[in-house]
Amino acid sequence: MGAVAIEPAVKPVKLNKEKVRGGVVAAVRISRRVFDATRQKNVFVTLVLALMLVGSSIGVVVSAHENRGLFNTLSQLQAERDHFQAEWSQLLLEQSALGGHGRVEKLAAERFSMVAPGRQDIVLVPLMSPLASR
């Protein structure tokens, strides 16, 4: 169980023109002091250095964010590459299995009733020399 604190009611303060005018005058006085201080050389240099520091830190944050995004993209692309390499290896194995001499010979015999010629079916044709054709 949590403790409950009961605070006394706050009465709203009515603003009158004099209080508002006094606040505005104080704000103007403070802003004049700030602007007068920025005209001094050492304060101006400090402000410029502080702005450069803030800009540099924002640059570091943006750079780190882009780096993370690019690293995630790289990881995804490497995983995709590995998947494609595995698929390519499987396709090469399938191609070598489908193109093997034994399988081609078997399919030729089954589908087209082809057989290897016997010795008696082989006819040797003599090679003609280029001089004999004249």
Q: Is the pLDDT of residue 78 over 90?
A: yes
Q: Is the pLDDT of residue 120 over 60?
A: yes
CB distance 39 to 33 below 8 Å? no
Reported as a single tens digit per residue, the pLDDT across 25-55 is 999 998 888 777 777 778 788 888 999 999 9
Q: What is the mean pLDDT of residues 74-98?
A: 95
- For 116-128, give one letter per residue: b (16+ CB within 10 A) or e: eeeeeeeeeeeee
pLDDT given at position 97: 86
Cα 51 to Cα 62, 65, 100, 112: the distances in Å are 17, 21, 73, 85
pLDDT given at position 1: 55
CB distance 82 to 88 below 8 Å? no
What is the secondary structure of 117-130 as a DSSP string? --GGG----PPPPT
Please count the residues of the chain: 134
pLDDT given at position 133: 61
Q: What is the mean pLDDT of residues 57-63?
A: 97
